[in-house]
Amino acid sequence: MNATDIEKNVLKFDKSRSNLLAVIAFTVINIILTAFDAGLNFLFSATLPQLIFQIGQSLEIETGSNIFMIAGLVIAIMIIIPYFVFWILAKRIRVFILVALIFFGIDSLILLYLILGEEFIFSYLIEIAFHGWVLYYLINGVIAWSKLRGVSTEDFIAAQQRLKTNTTLLTKTNVSAEPSQDTGEDDNSSGE
């Protein structure tokens, strides 16, 4: 595999990890928003932790005992932690992107099961689309991992550094290439 192919697959792999991190962050934010009854929910998140927490909240309301909400929160956190572990470990042991895909795939199946059991609401389509988005990037990450299996860790890290350097150079070039302010003088004016 040549350097360009390695960089292309490293970029796909890194995008996959970034999307996984976004899922983790938005899932945690959603649980916090649910705990404070904010009435707001981000779509780019895992379903199962939120569902477990909401079940705990409902049982707390029905029974009046805080233990159910605390148990729901603990279980939700225990479901989120593996995502974070997969994200961390995928940096060094790239096969964990496949494990994250399997884990999120199960979460997506749970979402579909829940949606099929309820009355149709348009927002479900948006939720399915966001799950599809994450699955797309995780699948791309797994494909990239598969192609990069023969690439050494040193070559992988070197490709990441080249990509980071190229991105930095492109950003600096774009900033410095902005057109200068026009002074309003005509360059073709005669010296009369």
Q: In this predicted model, what pLDDT tens digit does every residue of 80-89 receive, in sequence order?
A: 999 999 999 9
DSSP state of 184: S
Query: What pLDDT, on a 0 to 100 scale, did the predictor assign at position 1?
Result: 74
Give residue 45's domain range. 3-171
Is 34 within a domain? Answer: yes
Q: What is the largest CA-CA distance in the chain?
A: 94
Is 60 within a domain? Answer: yes
Number of structural domains (the chain) is: 1
Is 185 within a domain? Answer: no
Mapping DSSP to helix (H, G, I), strand (E, B) and coil, where does residue 65 land? coil
Query: What pLDDT, on a 0 to 100 scale, did the predictor assign at position 57?
Result: 93
Confirm if 27 and 49 have CB atoms less than 8 A apart.
Answer: yes
Nearest to residue 103, comparing CAs of 126, 128, 85? 85
Is 183 within a domain? Answer: no
Q: How many helices and strands in the chain, by DSSP H and E?
A: 6, 0
Is 109 within a domain? Answer: yes
Is 191 within a domain? Answer: no
Is 106 within a domain? Answer: yes
> Which residues in the chain land under pLDDT 70?
169-192
Query: What pLDDT, on a 0 to 100 scale, did the predictor assign at position 122?
Result: 81
Confirm if 13 and 144 have CB atoms less than 8 A apart.
Answer: yes
Query: What pLDDT, on a 0 to 100 scale, did the predictor assign at position 189?
Result: 45
Is 178 within a domain? Answer: no
Question: And the tokens for 188?
Answer: 């073709």
Query: What pLDDT, on a 0 to 100 scale, did the predictor assign at position 117?
Result: 85
